[in-house]
Amino acid sequence: MRIDHGKHDWSWWKSEMITKWANNSWRFELENAFESAIFNSEKDKPLNWFFKEKDRLSALHPDMSDDIINMKILRKCGGELEHVIKCRCVEPC
């Protein structure tokens, strides 16, 4: 790839990646992946699952604050886990 395009700085490579992959089809797949992902304590490791979902949301909405990202991910946990986490939060969730 570098042979074809020569030496460029990071901003050029970043814009090329965005042009190639950040299209409507990619956004649709990423949104569907986030919507269908539900935490399952039997098969998912909490940190791996959390960071995967955080990366998906950050890619879709780069301007979204960490608080909003955390709340959206927390809602994906559902049931007793969501209740336990909200009860232990220092700030109201």
Q: What digits encode the pLDDT tens for the residues 26-59? A: 889 989 999 998 887 788 888 899 899 999 999 8
Tokens of 66: 């960490």
Of 19, 22, 50, 18, nearest to 34 by C-alpha is: 50
The structural domains of the chain, with segments of one domain joined by +, span: 2-88
pTM for the full predicted model: 0.65
Cα–Cα distances (Å) from 23 to 9, 14, 29, 56, in that order, read: 23, 14, 10, 14
pLDDT of residue 44: 85
Q: How much is the average pLDDT of 63-82?
A: 82
Q: Is 57 left (phi over 0), alpha (psi -120 to 50) or beta?
A: alpha
